[in-house]
């Protein structure tokens, strides 16, 4: 055999590109078919689907009304709380103001009372000094067998112990003024000069002696020192009722008589003590 003779090769012959493409396409189609068949076999037969509808409960609520009511209640509660707070503040302010006012009024009343007490003590002291001076200047008291300065009997009808004395000084001025008013009218609240009531006459008579007396009979009945009706002196103040709350006053003028503004019917008169016996007497002179 020749060295150049043809020797068959052991390698497989090359396939052409076109054949390879055909084979690949066939293989792909087969695989796709198998895949579709498998999927179809694996999927169960479709069953009809039944739809289920759930009915929700119907709520018959008027939410807008509920909200409005809640808002209104909240607003009312807020307003009530504000009103209560304001009232509490006003009450506290009123209590504080009332306490302060009461304290001030108490202080003012105490100050006034102290001033009045001081003035009364000073007036009493001066009156006592004046009485002491006048008593020292008076003549000795005579028995009821003596005579009065106007020539009438000075004896008293008031019983044992009643005395008279000559009317002098301030007592004379008081007695003279009182007697000069006899016959004038009695008018409630009158203080002269044409008419008087009982305490108005006494006050005006004492004014002639430069002595200031309280206006009312109650105060006049406790203005001086108490004296017995059996030891009266001209110018003493007679009173009817209780001392400090007397309802009538008059002036003792001596001789067992008094001058007083009695009532609208009689006017100002001079009467015996037995005509209307007084309850008591005080001496200011």
Between residues 183 and 155, the one the model is more confident about: 183
Cross-strand pairs, 263: 267
255: Cα separation from own chain's centroid:
57
Burial class (CB in 10 A: 0-12, 13-18, 19+), 198: buried
Residues with Cβ within 8 Å of 231's Cβ and at least 6 positions away in sequence, in order, are 161, 162, 163
Domains of the chain by start residue, with CATH: 138-283 (3.90.1720.10)
Between residues 21 and 191, the one the model is more confident about: 191
Per residue in 6-58, pLDDT (tens digit) is: 555 555 555 555 565 556 665 666 566 666 655 555 555 555 555 556 666 55
Q: Which of 282, 259, 280 is nearest to 186 (CA)?
A: 259
How high is the pLDDT of residue 39?
A: 55
Q: Across residues 110-114, what is the average pLDDT? A: 80
Per residue in 230-276, pLDDT (tens digit) is: 999 999 999 999 999 999 999 999 999 999 999 999 999 999 999 99
pTM: 0.45
Between 5-9, 63-67, 149-153, the lowest mean confidence (pLDDT) is in 149-153
């Amino acid at each position: 055999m020749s060295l150049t003779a043809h020797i068959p090769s052991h390698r497989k012959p090359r396939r052409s590109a076109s054949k390879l493409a055909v084979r690949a396409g066939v293989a792909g189609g087969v695989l796709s078919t198998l895949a579709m068949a498998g999927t179809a076999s694996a999927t169960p037969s479709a069953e009809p689907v039944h739809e289920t509808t759930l009915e929700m409960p119907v709520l018959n609520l008027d939410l807008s009304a509920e909200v409005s009511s809640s808002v209104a209640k909240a607003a009312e509660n807020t307003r009530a709380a504000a009103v209560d707070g304001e009232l509490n503040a006003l009450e506290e302010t009123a209590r504080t103001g009332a306490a302060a006012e009461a304290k001030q009024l108490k202080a003012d009343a105490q100050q006034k009372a102290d001033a009045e007490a001081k003035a009364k003590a000073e007036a009493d002291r001066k009156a006592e000094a004046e009485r002491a001076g006048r008593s020292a200047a008076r003549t000795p008291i005579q028995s009821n067998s003596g005579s009065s300065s106007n020539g009438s009997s000075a004896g008293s009808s008031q019983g044992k112990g009643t005395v008279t004395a000559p009317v002098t000084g301030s007592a004379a001025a008081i007695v003279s003024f009182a007697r000069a008013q006899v016959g004038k009218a009695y008018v409630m609240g009158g203080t002269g000069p044409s008419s008087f009531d009982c305490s108005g006459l006494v006050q005006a008579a004492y004014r002639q002696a430069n002595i200031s007396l309280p206006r009312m009979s109650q105060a006049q009945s406790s203005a001086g020192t108490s004296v017995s009706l059996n030891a009266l002196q001209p110018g003493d103040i007679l009173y009817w009722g209780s001392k400090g709350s007397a309802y009538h006053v008059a002036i003792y003028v001596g001789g067992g008589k008094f001058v007083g503004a009695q009532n609208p019917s009689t006017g100002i008169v001079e009467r015996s003590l037995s005509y209307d016996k007084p309850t008591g007497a005080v001496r200011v002179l």
